[in-house]
Structure 1
Amino acid sequence: MNTNDNPNLMENLEKKDFIQSSEPIAEVPDNATLINTESEELIEQNIEQEELEETRVSKKEDNKQLLDSKEQEEHVIVDYEKLYESYDIKQLLEELEIIIKGDDVNSIKSKIGYIKVNFTKQVKAIKDKEQKEYIEKNGSIENIEYSTDKEETAFKELFAVYRAKKAEFDKSFEEQKLLNLAEKKAIIEDLKNLINNRETLKKTYDDFNILRSKWDEIGPVPQSELNDLWHQYNYCIEQFFDYVKINKELKELDLRKNLEQKIEIAEKVEKLLLEESFLVVAKELRSSIAYWKEIGPVPREKKQEIEDRFHIAIEKLSAKRKEHFEDTKQNEENNFNAKVALCEKVEELSELTYKNPKEWNEKTEQIFEIQKLWKSIGRANKLVNDEIWERFRKGIDKFFESKKDFFEGLKEVYVNNYNSKVNICVLAEGLKDNTNWKKTTEDLIRLQEDWKKIGPVDNKYSEKLWKRFRAACDVFFNNKSEYFKSINSIEKENYEKKLTLIKQLEEFQISEDNNSNLDQLKQIQNDWMNIGHIPIEHKDTLQSQFRSLINKHFDTLNASNKGSNESFYKMKMETLKETSSGQYKFNEEKVNISRKINTLKSDITLWENNIGFFVNSKGADKLIADFETKISKAKEELATLEDKLKILNKI
């Protein structure tokens, strides 16, 4: 039977060889008599056989129960994570109020975490939207009131109740650990005394099993006492087996089973080297270490080998984690430098003076782009992150304060512009039915130019006035278009020719002769260029369709060989899908890849459009080089992800 079946026996792994306790174990007296008669030897053999069978059954059931409980726990965590993502703010508050009323405060810890994350995310999204709308309307965030203030207050009150209950639970739990420690120390003393007793083998073995059962039933002990307590207990167990010499085969079977379980755990830890998420690695590693220490001793000749294998895997994970955090530190430094450059750009924009609303709106769009770029960069080191954010926020606030002051002085100008545009609308409506095509065209074009020179009006009238003016112009130019339709027959003929070429491209098949393929595509392009004008309303659509088809064929001709990697990934995904839980993981892989593709596309566009912000910054060359490296890596990753998504869609 396993000498350490209690799942609470060890909670942490010391990356050293097991150290036997310095506390002495009572020696067996030389004159101790365990087996006095032939009948007692027969009893001992029967006991040993019965205990062996009980051990096999018990150990199998214990291990199965432990694994089942862990799988069930992980399954529940995943379910609640997905569930709370679909809840709105009101539902999250209601759920929080319900679950904190329960008595088992420790079991709801993960639920509380998911509720808090989703509540914070939704509140932030609402605040960001309301803040943007408020700034667009008022020019700054002064005196802003958010619609989520009441819900945030309620959330904080409920969360305070949870924290109070958790603190009370933790205090009680630590007190119980001290009681558990005293009980386990008493059991160790009883085990030492058991070795020195003179009872029959059956009585001694029964007492031994009772003590082990009591040990397994006792809960966790303080962390500081854990290792020493475990070593003493394990040493007593080993001394007892040596003392009573119970069925060597039973002990060897127990050691072999322990070895099999430790090999399984070592393999699980080695697989973690392929895991990308360090949160998943940390969680699985803690679980594996705790389970490792629960298992107990293995055959002496295999002990060093399996422990070295386990420790080497942990060391590799530690090295990988160290490398990750070093990269994170460098990224945080790069992010800080990039954010300093953005602060300088915002401060530059906030110091300039703009003469008209167009300039203000153009610079406002730049500010919005800078804000998007800021959000995409990532966090700086926590020691400076708040400071750099405060600098950035002050620059933004100063810009919008200046913008607000400017637009306050535009009201009178808006009134004059409004009257001027109304007059132009009246003139255009008087010309809309005129059939003097040339002169009226010139007059309307002149009115359009006058319209552009006037300047803006209040937003609530701008669209209405423009539609009125545009409607009058459209009436005239539609009438003119109908009149001149008769001279458009040549353009229609050219239009049909280009449609024919597009059809050829759609039906074009790539052959094995690349030179022939290239010549045919070039000839189609030359034919396209030699065709004359087509109706203006079809020009952009046909040109876009033609270029898309041409590019598609050229991309096919120029595609690089990615067969080996794609075959490996396809085989991996097909294998995964055939497993019992594979369909869920397969679908999750598709969702994650699609989400990453969208994020990368957004980041690449944002970085490429805004890299110019760093041109005049301190250390501009390094910042631009960093962003160009980011863009290059992102594009490579995007191409790889898109290939993977294609493979998944075909499986």
Structure 2
Amino acid sequence: MSENDNLQDADGKIELNTTETPQNTEASQVAETSTSEEPKASEKTENTPEKETVSEEIKDEQAKVEKEVVSEDTTEEPLEETKDVTETVSESTKKADAHVEEIEESNAEDAEDETNAERHEVESKDYHAMSMEQLVDEFETLLSDKKIQTIKSQVDEIKSEFHSKFGELLDEKKEEFLSEGGNEIDFYFTTPVKKRFNDAYKTYRNNLNAYYKNLESNLKQNLENRLAIIEEIKGLINVEENINTTYKHFKDLQEQWRNAGPIPRDRYNNAWNSYHHHVEVFYDFLHLNRDLRDMDFKHNLDQKTKIIERAEELAKDDNINRAFRELQVLHKLWKEELGPVDREYREDIWERFSNATKTIHDKRQAYYADLDKAHEANLVKKEEIIAKIDEISQDQPKSHQAWQKKIKEIEALRQDFFNAGKVPIKVNDATWTKFKTAVRNFNRNKNAFYKSLKKDQYDNLNKKLELIKIAEDNKDSEDFETTTSLMKKIQADWKNIGHVPRKDSDKIWKQFKKACNHYFDRMHEEKNAASKEEMAAFEEKSALLETVKAIELTGKPEKDIETIKDQINAWKSIGHIPSNKRFIEGKFNKAIDALFGKLDMDKAKLDMIKFENKLETLSKPDDTRLLDNEQNYIRKKISEIKGEINQLENNMQFFSNVDETNPLVRDVIKNIKNHKDNLQTWKDKLRKVKSMY
């Protein structure tokens, strides 16, 4: 049977695996193959070195393998080559480059959970600029749409931002509570959105705990399975059986390894290094055909070249995060899916892959450096906003309107602060504390003002309650002329009193408005009813006026006087007319005076008749104001006439010859007589007025 026959399966086909490195059957070929596959201490191995040192457990396993290989192999040359392999792996592990370490750390983290790589696909938003309601909405969306293990960083950011915003609100409400005289031990405040957040976070913690509890058990079992597979691969070199059977057993173990599932991240790189090491040791002891080995080398070279080309394309991609995530996948393929290549290409292809990786790493570092600069710029903005808040806090207005303006300014600055973006992590807490302190200082000054304002408001409340009592006491008054002025006055007083506590404002206003409206509605109803009667009276007086104008006197004074008095009485009996129609009263009096003027009788007697008619017009039940005015006027006229008589009589003393033949003396005597006659008429009028009371 030839060497190739040993590789044939039941169907006569040759099985190839990308992790295999077939060897020649002769001992010299084993030595040659081993030499060609082992990386030098200065080379980067396909087993990408990890940041952490190899665990003690893995070191022990490797030491056992080396000891077993030395004790069971009788060929000195392969023993030396195997020793070099182990030393090379260890040396390569120690000399890991930073850009490769970053990839290895990320892949180790993803390896703990095969779905954990999905965390890169979960979008992180600007949670800092969101309101509490928006943060909870986003939290609930993540819980319903994403796997629980992929949203940790987003949840941590949402939690931090929510607690910061709610903490600020809580401080503000607490200060208001204390400023109103509340006891700190009695303070309690919550909101519906806080309850929603608590419920969402409880769900998140419960689901995450359940996930990790299950994952911990699986990771532990998967690690045990993988270590067992390594042990079996180690044992294959001691099995005395047909090489074809051993080879198939080895392939079966490789398949089991691929399907063994995720393991703890801190054991990932060690386990893979140990696995690759023992796979290479197994190949060193296989007596396989060199052609198959070269075919495998060529396949691995082709695949790794494609990986390198894709990595070099990614190095030109401007989307840094996307390029880095795909680079992780390429490194995982390089490490987990592909085996070694021929020594003459090994250093070159690793150098190309490492250079592409470094380019992406450097671009990513530069990206984060720019991000840090942006965060520093955001810090400057936030410091300026805080300074403005401090400046506003130093000015303490004296009016409600001015404070409301300040409150709007602070609210705008708060929004600007939240929209300014993230700041460097190292100063995030300090900046937030400084911002809260500035806002808290403003709120304290504001609360102190409104606390003093509330005392004035309670005084205003008592004043307005007194006005309400006046309004309710007079709302049913029938004395519209007097009460209307009172009602208008208390309405003006209400406007001038000022603010009352908000909780009482609507209540007392409605009470006051109701009493006032009740009164004025009654007054307007009364006026509307009176207006109809007054318009009818006006129409009647208009007709009577035309009748008076058309009267023809008989020439008999007594009869004509009776006629005139009948018209006057008829006019008086008609009643009130609208105030804007009172001009007709003047027209009527003018018409009556014209009739009196046509009478042929003594002027003094006629004047007295007209005066008696006037008195009847002035006389009103329960209202003597018009008569009082008339009496005062008459008394004044009497006093004036007496003064004029005295003056004339005094003037008579200046004449040396008091003789009526003197024209001047005669005129003075005539004037004195006329004044005395006039005086008597006014005295008669005064007696008549007094008789009207």
Q: TM-score, structure 2 length as denominator?
A: 0.42
Larger Rg, first or second structure (1 or 2): 2
